[in-house]
Structure 1
Amino acid sequence: MGLFSFFKGQFIEVIEWLGGQDSMVYRFPAYDNSIKMGAKLVVRESQAAIFMNEGQLADVYGPGTYTLNTQNMPLLTALKSWKHGFNSPFKADVFFVSTASFPNLKWGTTNPVIMRDAEFGMIRLRGFGSYSIRVNDPALFLREIIGTSSSFAPEQIAGYLKSIIVTGVSDRIGESNIPVADLASAYEELSRNISKLLEPKFNAMGLSLTGLQIENLSLPEEVEKMIDRKSSMNIAGNLDQYMKFQAAEALREAANNPESGAAGTGAGLGAGMAMGQMFAQAMNGGGSANSGHSSTAPTPPSTPKKSFCSECGQPLAENAKFCSGCGTKV
């Protein structure tokens, strides 16, 4: 191998990145090698290539194949003060940025979010879900987030993005005034509103929030038990309909069990009617107690006790002083 062939082997003639599913940014390893003027730059779909000179952003290339020269590298040519027709090897940092979507990234509340509910008062709310992002401005993303890192994965900014999303979720839920019991039916609407709120913040980093989903908003256990109790009370609220339903069920059971006969049917109906009377009496008693009246039944008037003469045994008139039979003084 001649001296010329040795130097020619040190020049980079093809610059490309085969891509990685988990990486957003890839720095082409050209630290000690020089890039040959006229080298091929291959940028695949869902990629962008960025040239940097001593930390300054220069030219940005979209998908395609390029032959590097001073004509299609205007910014780098100006930064390096090249003269027209420059044909020598040069050094520059080359970054490939993936513009594909990165889906199924997770977010969740580290601590409960305190909010006010009209029915339950102050409550603590937890939530989690997923979101998707993509780089929509490679140069801005590289300048604001990446710096000079040789590689970059979404997990490296996941904590920061999660805090932005949790703040947006808390803000939108608090402003929506949706009752806690109705939150589950508003997940899709809340997700759209939160995405609109956060999109400008993501754009400022060169990113786009392509999707956000709320998978669950959960309440503390004690609040969930309170909701369960209230649901049970609402189900049993109309005792008249409930007892009619019970009677119909007893008839159905009797029809399905002919061996029980009329006695079984009567017993079922009797039990249902007795239960209905018991509930009705309990409700009436509770209503009178709540209205402030005493629930004690009135005492019936007492019957006067009869007295008799100690001498002759004749019945004595009321308040009599002498016996009408023998004249004995009472």
Structure 2
Amino acid sequence: MGLFSFLKGQFIEVIEWLDESANSGSMVYRFPVYDNAIKMGAKLIVRESQAAVFVNEGQIADVYGPGTYTLSTQNMPLLTALKSWPYAFNSPFKADVYFVSTANFTNLKWGTTNPVILRDTEFGAIRLRGFGSYAIRVKDPAMFLRELFGTRSDFTTEQISGYLKSILVTGISDLIGESRIPVMDLASSYEELSARAMERLQPHFESMGLFLSLLLIENLSLPPEVEQMIDRKSSMNIAGNLDQYMKYQTAEAIREAANNPDSGAAGTGAGLGAGMAMAQMMGQMMNRPAEPGPAASGGGPAAAGNGNAAQTGVPKRFCTECGSPLVENAKFCSGCGTKV
């Protein structure tokens, strides 16, 4: 009796998967039947958002959706055919059982590892970065096991996130390049681009037994140095008319002085005077005509006189009437008395 109870205990009678780990991201769980035999007539419990797949010697057999099943040759047609069981076979058997989660795996992230070079109609060649989130679920458990799972004991989203991210980045980059939307208008097209990207990438995911249930483009940005240049250009456009801008600055200075009683009347006057002076100086610079160039040397009236004629800034040394030398600081000629 003891030996019979021991042998009976080696047979698995209930097959189920309770995923109690929160945020585990487990997509596939292999039920531990390595050395234990499954009892014919055992109960298979498949919960909502799950699927159970029986595999015989590496070959996928029967797939079960949510529900409770009593295993028999009648409801295991493919496995019965693979093992060549006779009708109403009731002996224990061995098979690999995989539970596949068909729930939505949300808040998965994608992003560009390196900037993507694109051609923009306004800025020319640019480098664009982007990031966002997506959600997937298993649509075809059997295909998913064949294409991605292999023979592992378990499987999580982290094991395929890098591969899926590369598919997403390639598809989104190609879509943005073909759409030819200017960089300045990309922010208003995130929703449309996300929907078109989902439609384009869906066949790639379905070929792996997956379904892309959500794709969001959260941000597409330029390098920091390019964004700084755009900010400067925006500031210049906002400033517009410099005269109006200076008047606005003066009014702001008066308002700030009024809101700061500690500065007193002196501070108010100083701020007002500085604003008015700056406005006048800017106005003069903008309205001043161009200055003439320096006069050509030689041939002019200044050079037409005798050798004693003084040019601008050169002191006289001889009298222009009699030629006598002039006494320094004298107002009249020492020879003829002519007023210098």
TM-score range, shorter chain: 0.7 to 0.9
Aligned 8 A contact 1:239 1:276 in 2: no
Which residue does 1:223 correspond to in 2? 226
Match of 1:98 among 101, 123, 131: 101
Partner residue, 2:65: 62
Q: Point out where structure 1 has 5 or more consecutive residues left out of the alignment.
A: 289-294, 312-330
Alignment correspondent of 1:52: 55
* CA separation of 1:84 and 1:226: change in aligned 2, threshold 3 A: same
Question: Are residue 246 (structure 1) and residue 241 (structure 2) matched?
Answer: no
- Match of 1:69, SS state, is coil
Q: Is 1:138 the counterpart of 2:146 in the alignment? A: no
Residues of 1 paired with 2:160 and 2:122: CA distance?
38
State whether structure 2 residue 299 is matched by structure 1 residue 296.
no
Structure 1 residues 162, 256: CA separation in 2 closer, same or farther (over 3 Å shift)?
A: closer
Equivalent residues in 2 for 1:145-294, closer than 5 Å: 145-253=148-256, 271-283=274-286
Provide the residue aligned with 2:15 in structure 1: 15
Give the deviation of 1:160 after TM superposition: 0.7
Task: Tell me the equivalent position of 1:40.
Answer: 43
CA distance in 2, matches of 1:199, 1:178: 23
Task: Give the conservation status (yes or no) of the 8 Å contact 1:109–1:128.
Answer: yes
Give the count of matched residue pairs.
Answer: 301
Range that drifts further, 108-117 or 2-11: 2-11
Identity %: 73
Assess, with a 3 A threshold, how the Cα gap between structure 1 residues 297 and 99 changes in structure 2: closer, same or farther: same
TM-score, normalization by structure 1: 0.80
Measure the CA separation in 2 of the matches of 1:8 and 1:254: 94
In 2, Cα distance between equivalents of 1:122 and 1:16: 56
Moved more, 100-109 or 134-143: 100-109
- Alpha-carbon distance in structure 2 between the residues aligned to 1:84 and 1:129: 55
Q: Give distance in 2, aligned partners of 1:202 and 1:101.
A: 14
Give the Å deviation of 1:257.
6.8
Give, in whole Å, the separation in 1 of the partners of 2:259 and 2:7: 98
Contact 1:11-1:33 at 8 Å conserved across structures: yes
CA distance in 2, matches of 1:253, 1:56: 80
- Counterpart of 1:70 in 2: which secondary structure? coil
- TM-score of the aligned structures, taking structure 2 as reference length: 0.78
Distance in structure 1 (CA, Å) of the matches to 2:104 and 2:36: 32
CA contact (8 A) 1:42 1:66 kept: yes
Instruction: Name the structure 2 match of 1:2.
Output: 2
Structure 2: state its 5+ residue gaps: 310-319, 323-340
